Amino acid sequence: MTSPVPSATNLRAGSLPIAGLGAIDCDVHPRSPRRQDLLPYVDDYWREIFMSREIDHLELSGYPETLRPNRAAPDAGNGDAASLAKALLDPLKLDAAILNVTSGVHAIFDPYLAQVLCQATNRWLAAEWLDRDPRLRASLIVPLQHPEAAVAEIEAYAKDHRFVQVLAVVMNDKPLGQRYLWPIYEAASRHGFALNIHAGNTYRHAPTQSGFNSYLVEDFVHQTQGFANQVGSLLAEGVLAKFPEMKVVLSESGVTWMPSLMWRMSKDWRGVRIEVPWVKEMPSLLMRKQVRLTLQPFDGPSDPAQAARAIAHLGGDEMLLFSSDYPHDHRIDVAYWPANLPEELAARAARENALATYPRLEV
C-alpha cells in the first residue's frame, strides 16, 4: 500500500492498517473553494461583489492552509472528490469521511457576505464533493456572525443527511455557550446535527489571555486553551444541559488536556454550582456524555503505555473519534493506526463512536 501522504516519513506508523476497520474519518480537509468554485452558487449582485472586491482565496490566518503543517503536499489528493478517493478513501477503505472547510469564511465581518459565502461553500461541497462520492459527508458551514441566517441554512439542509455537523472555529468572537447562538443549537439539535468545534482562530482577540505570542509553537498550544474555554462555556451556560442529544465534536483539539478540565470543573462545580443550577450532573459526566475528540493530531506521549494511561483518564473511550486530518502533514502514515495509540481502541474509535456521535450519519 502506498502512503496517502507522500511527503510523510513514517515516524510513528503502527502496524494496524486502518483498512479493514470500516473506519469513519471524522476530519478530512478538502481544498478551500476559490472564487471560480463559488461563483456558480451566488447571484449576480454577489458575483459583482466577488469580482469588484477581488474576493477569492479566503484563508483563515489562524489556520493557514498555505503553511505547514496545514499545507497539503503538492500532489495531495484533496483537490477534488476523485483524487481524495484515490489518495485516502480507497486505500484506507473508509466507510465515510467528513469534510471540514476551515477557510476565511469564518472570519468575515460583513454578516451578509458571510451568509452568502457559507451558502455557496455548502452548495459547492454538495455538488463537487458529496454528489461525486457516496462515502463523503461534510460539516455545514454557517455564519455565526448572523445567527438567523445560520438557522435558515441548517433548515435548508435538514433533509440532506450528508451534512452531519455544524462547524465553528474554536477561537472566535465570543464563547460559544452564549445565548445569542442558541437558536443555532436548537435547530442543529432538532435535526440531529452535531456541533463541530474545529481548530482555528479569527483573531478577534489575542490568542492568549496574556496577549499575543511570538511563535507558531505557542500558537499550537494556545488552541488547546481555546478548546478548554469553549467546553467550559458550553457547560456553564447550559448548552449541554439544554441540548442533551447534541454531541460536541472537538477537531484537532488534542486529547490529553481534557481529563484535567473534567476534574477541575467537576471539583469547582461543587462549590459554585449555585450560579449554574441547570448543571445538575457532575461536569465530567456531562462532558463524557456529550463531548467528543478527534484523534489527529494526538497530543499525548509517544510511548504507547504512557499514552494509554493518559487516555484512560478520560474515563471512557466513547469520547474518541478516529480522524486522519488529511492532507495535513503530521509526519505519520495515516493508513495505519498511530503507533502510540492503544490498538484495542481502534475498532470503537474508528467506527462505533462516530455512529453514536452522528445520528445523521448513515453508512
Partner 1 sequence: MEADTKAKRHVVCRADEIQPGASKRVQVAGRDIAIFNVNGEYSAIGDRCPHEGASLCAGAIVGLAEADEPGEARMTRHGEFVRCPWHGWEFDLKTGKSWCDPRRTRVKKFDLAVEDATKIVEGPYKIDVFDIRQEGSYLVIDI
Cβ-based nearer residue to partner 1, 126 or 234: 234
Does 285 bind partner 1 (CB under 8 A)? Our answer is no
338, containing H or E segment? strand 336-338
Rounded to a whole number of angstroms, the minimum distance from the CB of residue 314 to partner 1 is: 19
Cβ-based nearer residue to partner 1, 123 or 288: 288
**How far is 330 from 342, CA to CA, in rounded Å?**
19
Strands 248-251 and 24-28: what pairing?
Answer: unpaired
Considering only residues 27, 95, 237, 333, which one is a binding residue for partner 1 as defined by CB under 8 A? 237
Considering only residues 241, 258, 332, 334, which one is a binding residue for partner 1 as defined by CB under 8 A? 241
* Contact call for residues 166 and 194 (beta carbons, < 8 A): yes
Does 271 bind partner 1 (CB under 8 A)? Our answer is yes
Which residues, 6+ apart, have CB-to-CB distance to 95 below 8 Å?
22, 23, 24, 135, 351, 363
Rounded to a whole number of angstroms, the minimum distance from the CB of residue 256 to partner 1 is: 25
Cβ-based nearer residue to partner 1, 217 or 272: 272
The region of 45-53, 115-123, 208-216, 235-243 touching partner 1 under the rule CB under 8 A is 235-243
Cβ-based nearer residue to partner 1, 109 or 278: 278
What residues from 129 to 188 belong to the interface with partner 1 (CB under 8 A)? Answer: 179
The region of 31-39, 152-160, 269-277, 339-347 touching partner 1 under the rule CB under 8 A is 269-277
Does 277 bind partner 1 (CB under 8 A)? Our answer is yes
The region of 25-33, 234-242, 328-336, 338-346 touching partner 1 under the rule CB under 8 A is 234-242
Does 28 bind partner 1 (CB under 8 A)? Our answer is no
Does 74 bind partner 1 (CB under 8 A)? Our answer is no
Cis peptide before 134 (omega within 30 of 0): no
Does 211 bind partner 1 (CB under 8 A)? Our answer is no
**What cell does 345 get?**
481502541
Does 269 bind partner 1 (CB under 8 A)? Our answer is yes
Which residues, 6+ apart, have CB-to-CB distance to 262 below 8 Å?
283, 284, 287, 288, 314, 315
Does 217 bind partner 1 (CB under 8 A)? Our answer is no
Rounded to a whole number of angstroms, the minimum distance from the CB of residue 240 to partner 1 is: 10
For the chain, first and last CA: distance in Å? 25
* Contact call for residues 38 and 103 (beta carbons, < 8 A): no
The region of 32-40, 83-91, 102-110, 237-245 touching partner 1 under the rule CB under 8 A is 237-245
The region of 55-63, 95-103, 222-230, 236-244 touching partner 1 under the rule CB under 8 A is 236-244
Does 190 bind partner 1 (CB under 8 A)? Our answer is no
Give start and end residues of each alpha helix (H) in the chain: 35-38, 44-52, 81-84, 111-124, 147-156, 182-190, 216-236, 239-242, 258-272, 283-290, 304-312, 346-347, 353-357
Rounded to a whole number of angstroms, the minimum distance from the CB of residue 262 to partner 1 is: 14
The region of 6-14, 271-279, 300-308, 331-339 touching partner 1 under the rule CB under 8 A is 271-279
* Contact call for residues 25 and 133 (beta carbons, < 8 A): no
- Give the orientation angle of helix 258-272 with respect to helix 283-290, to 10 degrees: 140
DSSP 256-317: TTHHHHHHHHHHHHHHHGGG-TT--S-HHHHHHHHEEEE-SS--S-SSHHHHHHHHHTTS-G
Residue ranges binding partner 1 (CB under 8 A): 179, 237-238, 241-242, 269-274, 277-278, 282
